[in-house]
Amino acid sequence: MKVLVITGSESDLTLARETVKLLEEFGIPYRIEVASAHRSPERVVRIIKEAEKDGVEVIIAMAGMAAALPGVIAAHTILPVIGVPVNSSPLNGMDALLSIAQMPSGVPVATVAIGKAGAKNAAILAAEILGLKDQKLQKRLKSYREKLTEDIEKIDAASLITESKGQK
CB of 143 to ligand RP5, least distance (A): 33
DSSP code at position 107: S
Write the CA distances from 88 to 1, 31, 95, integer angstroms.
28, 23, 10
State which residue, 42 or 150, has the beta carbon closest to ligand RP5.
Answer: 42
CB of 43 to ligand RP5, least distance (A): 13
Q: What is the 3-state secondary structure (H, E, C) of 113-154?
A: CCCHHHHHHHHHHHHHHHHCCCHHHHHHHHHHHHHHHHHHHH
State which residue, 19 or 88, has the beta carbon closest to ligand RP5.
Answer: 88
State which residue, 36 or 121, has the beta carbon closest to ligand RP5.
Answer: 36
CB of 57 to ligand RP5, least distance (A): 23
- Residues of the shown chain interacting with ligand RP5 in the complex, contacts defined by CB under 6 A: 8-9, 11-12, 36, 63-65, 86, 88
137 vs 109: CA distance, rounded Å: 23
